[in-house]
Structure 1
Amino acid sequence: EGQMGVAGARIWVFLFVAFQVSTLVTPEEQTCVPGFKQSTFILKVTSKHLRQQVSLGKVNFEDCTDRTRFSFSSSDGRVRAQADGALTVKRPITLHEGHLDFLIHIWDSRGRKHTLPVRLLHQERQRDEDNAEAGMEAQVPVVYFHKSGEGLKRRKRDMVIPPLSVAENYRGPYPHKISQIRSNQDKLWRIHYSISGPGADQPPVNLFTMDQVSGTLFVTQQLDREKQANYTLKAHAVAEGSGTAEDPMDIIVNVIDQNDNKPGFVKDTFLGKVPEASPTNFEVIQVEATDLDEPNSDNSDIRYKILSQEPKLPSDNLFAINEVTGAIRVNAGGLDREKYPEYTLEVQAADMKGIGLTGVAKVILTVTDSNDNAPAFTQASYETSVAENKADSQILRMQVTDWDEPHSAAWNAKFTIVSGDPGGFFSVKTGTNKQEGILSTAKGLDFEKNSKHTLLIAVENEVPFAVALPTATATVVVTVQDVNEAPIFDPPEKQVSKGEDLPVGTDVVQYTASDPDTARKQKVMYRILNDPAGWLNVDKETGVIKVKTPMDRESLFVKDNKYTALIGAYDDDEVPATGTGTLMVLLEDVNDNAPVIEERAFRVCRNKPAPQLLSVTDKDGPGNGAPFSVSLQDPSRSNWTARMNDSKTGIILQLTKALESGQYTVVLRVADNRGRDQDNTVQATVCECTGEDNQCQERVAAGTNLFFINIIRGGILLLLTLVMLILLFAR
């Protein structure tokens, strides 16, 4: 009878649950959704020590197809998951803490991963009544408040139980039972259960609820791990009429990740550049995708793949991608900007290590120019001509072509003279359009030495060739044109030393020039081009230069003892060419100048006269000048004395008698160190004064002026008196 009662109760529960489910399912929910039939699976065992091959139970998965066997995997290597969902012990297990939590994974027919939290729970054998009661309830973890010998007294700290696990996106129905809370006091008291915290009585409110009588914990809607990965609730047990029966207990609910987010690239389109001459394995660009699913799990473990390449020429595997890093590299040769300037790749990112959900992005690679085309001359050879002696003259422009990208360093031309110019007579530079070489003369060419030059000119680019390429060259033949060149003096500047007293008509020097136009056999003639003082003459035929008029080293035309004249040499061509030579005559000094006293007048007091210092100079050079000597000439000797100062360059003149005020002439004979002398006359003004106060002239003038002023004043006063007398008598 008891067994029949239990069986009846089970049937009643089954019918009740079926009725509730049928009334809750909407037409939208009747659409099949792949997933486990439980959000959490509890497997109860009666032993803590589980042997190999022990059967633990079976998980059920709905694929919405005809498939009945699947590829299950277990996160715990000690548990084997078979194709039909049966779980067995692969290696012995000991439940040290009374339970073991692990995950069962499966991929549905759409490639989506599903995860089921499983708890292996040790439970002692119970009485039949307990078993019957357990059979009426869905298998969920039952958690008891910590036992206490203190009755209803509150303990000082909360208790924490092992976390609960709930898979996100569980398809329901809801509310879904996930655990049951029990108090050890429920045999003695009527217990009211409740929960608090975020997700219960705090936002998001009523995501979790608890039956206040049974302590059953429900989740009321689907969870989303990407919004919140876990919840911490506080469980409370209150004895009816007696206050708190248990201290609050923390319940942690972990949301188990499902593969419900496909990878997403950080950009819809990636832009990159690849040089056309890039070697194999050259890294071009790196793409990146992210996945909102749980980090460091298969659900977010991304692998990359190139789906397509456009154009597929010259081969469809020009690029490869690192499946882990997303780095795209050159995989084969053949890139050619001139043929295929751009490639578009479609790149895929797939989670579950490449077999899960996918996202795609576009990669546009622009092929940039490399120097894989050598510039080429438009002509293999050139001929040009230039007049001799013409330096820095452009003589030829050479055009080139290049198939590389215009106006790039790989396109811009650079020219060099390879051979044919050991003397450095030519230079070549690149024109402003960067596609022509301009050949110029760096020095004047000499027709008589070499009338033809053959140059080999090469062209390259501003940057080295990216691949092995031949360097283009061109031959340039330059013909030198003969011109009538001016005769050339040798040396261009000629210096001679001559005495300044060289007689008129005497030869100074012969200064000749030669004609570089040896083939023309021309006659060279001479003339004076510039002779500032007019001292020189040149023989037209011989180039002999003679003294025309006397020379003078002390002349203003002489600088630093040098007299410079410009001599011309010209040929007898129809249009004569004239060359110039510079003649510098170093004039040797001759003692042809006597010393001169600089001060020609001075004033001196008649009383206690001060000595006068007179400076002496000589236009001649140092050898014909100081030291000087002096002597007084009659009649000056009777009133004056004269002697040289210590440096022998100045005369100390002393008045020896108190002469009357007035003008006196003093004659001094001054001689240089070679004895050349001359008389110098100076004017001495003797004043009525004493010593060095020789301002007597001003005083005399001032006294005279005062005398005349007084006479004028007296005359005016006399005139006014006469006028007054006349007016008085007229009345």
Structure 2
Amino acid sequence: MAPAAPRLVLGLLVLSLCCEACKKVIFHVPSELEADTLVGRVDLKECLQSAEFISTTDGNFKILEDGSVYTTSALSLSAEKKTFTILLKDIQEQVEKKIYVSLVEEEKKTQTQKTRHARDTVLKRTKRRWGPIPSVMIENSLGPFPLQIQQVQSDTAQNYTIYYSASGPGIDQDPKGLFYIERETGNIFATRAVDREQYPSFQIICFATTPDGYSPEVPLVHTIRIEDDNDNAPYFTQDLFEFCVPENSKPGVVVGQVTAEDRDEPYTLHTTLKYRIVSQNPPITPAFSLHGDTGVISVLLPQLDRELVPSYTLLVEVRDMAGQPFGLCTTGTVVVKIEDTNDNAPSFKQIQYETRVEENRVNVEVLRVSVVDLDEPGSPGSGAVYEIIRGNDDQAFEITTDKNTNEGILCVVKGLDYESAKQRVLVIGVNNEAPYLLAPHSQQLSQSTCSVTVHVLDVDEGPVFKPCLLRLDVKECEDIGTAIGRYVAEDPETGNSEGIRYRIPPGQCNWINIDDKSGEVRTVKVLDRDIGEMRRGQCNITVLAIDRNNCAYLSPKGDIPFGIYDIPVSVMDNGGKVGESTVRVNFCDCVTPTECDGRSRQLSGGNVTLGLWAILAMILGSLLLLLILITICGCCGRGVMHRQVTDDCANHNLIISNTEAPGEEVMDQNIIPLQNTCDQGGYGVKTGDQQTFEVVKGRGHTLESVKGGGHQTLGSVKEGGGQTMMDTCRYSYSEWHNFTHPRLGEKVHLCRQDEEQKHSEDYLLSYNYEGKGSLAGSVGCCSDQHEEEALDFLDQLEPKFRTLAETCIKR
């Protein structure tokens, strides 16, 4: 016999069954052998102690566990030598051994031997006639022990002395000593109780031999069956059964199956099981049924509502003996979870919403709406899907779902126009991710909607050219100053062009200009197609339209040190395009803008030392003031300007020193006021751009101006309609200031230069109106004082001023 297949051990070492040959065995037998004839006995344990499998290479022979060799059919040696091999295997130890058996025909014997041989032959040829029915022993028997369970007896015992013996499990194998057989009687006894679940049956081999060792009978394989006692209760295969079933499932839908087992003998009442539901939690109408024989759980209640009861807990029982009351039973737990289906439609918490958004804003969130859905949170049955049903024909709005909060996020994706529509009304609907399933006995629901009113907030927009591209045709060699067209823009808020100024940025075609107020385009050069940019026959020019609100202002915040700062400025247009640039700002406390060099100065208080130039400036200022007074009084004396001067007129004409009242509002278009400069400290801010903005806070007044304005006289100051002011003695402080200050400044500027053409540190200061109530009254020569007694204060003046006083006395 070939060795068994090799087995891999530890991944490297290959082991195989080793075959070893034990000693050879020779049996002397007659030349003719009948079936079931004992040939001889082999000592198997001497060859292999722990043989698990015993076989022969010749099917005409069989071998029992005790080593007895029998024929299985009639044989004739025919004077030939017959050989075969007995194979012994131990699988656990990976061992295989062989015993070689040879059958040799017996030699001729004497008459006495023949007589004995004939008797033996008769015994050996006797058919097996001792075969009792299997023995039965009740498990857990109470005894008394030893307990006789069976008797085996050979028919040959009628003629010969027979001794009985046995081997096998329960005798000389585990569990050893459980059974034994009486040698003379063949009675089999049990010494103790047996557990059928551990040993359901035993097979022992019984032998019958004569006192001289011959075996007149083939060894008997006898079965001792242990009869079952219902000593084991059934048990469930799981500690906890968990099943799921969709809500609103129809009755009869299978939920799951519970299974139980019983260790008692199969196919008996001891293992015939029955199932039933003992209780249900919550203890409401029974929702499930349990098949008694199969353990299948099915839906019983036609309306399983997850929103009312999300899960059920069942206490189930299994009982043997086909469910009879005297049967053994065990209980188990079943949890049935109700799966969510989309049987609840979402509904808005509010049916009306209002929100606001600035016009031209893009990609901004304007509102969040929320819904109520009774389905399981986080499931497709509760996931909200929002849509804009009405009011979004231009696709200016978009609504999405926040997966974390299930809210609808309404956003503006296209800029809104306040001038076109001051509000938008949207109708928003909501559905679920999963399709809606109608619950039994319920009515179809309509889609939940809400209305959203979006108020569009007006934002100051820049002017817009209409059309955005204008083509002007002009003839070559036209005269300079020829009007070739008009290009105007409109304010989207007002729909007109009022207050819009126009200009052409530098670096473009320089043969035309545009009137900054009317937008009229005129030539400034004679056009020639053969030179410069006109060789192409045309020139593209960009025109800027600027309204009053397009000016950006810088005001310092907080207490920051004086100095020069580079400030990044971002400008965004309506289309969302952003441009960035840097503006250099000189932040200082200088009173005169031209001297704003960033160096810190002392604003007020402390000791002030006047230099030579400061004293000279004061003297020149006094002389200039005296000259003005003489001029005015002279005019009054000659009767050229007949006007009555009151205290208020003094306020308009003469700048009374040490006043704290604010100046009048300047409305001229060439003066651009800066917001809150006086209230926030009013220190000078000077920017280096095409226009220079300056705000200087002096001692007691605020001076505001825009460099680059044209010269003007006091009489040319105009009011709203563009008419020249002709009212006598009604000039405002601003008008007076704008007329006198530049001229005084120029004169003082020239007088205050030293030999190196540098400005003196001290200069003439301007003063404001101090208010009414001065004890001295007005010093104006044209004041409304008719009585000379009111001029008594002139007597107290110094001699140098008496001449002036005499000149001003009414003649």
Question: Structure 2-normalised TM-score?
Answer: 0.45
Question: Structure 1-normalised TM-score?
Answer: 0.49
**Which protein is richer in strand relative to its size?**
1
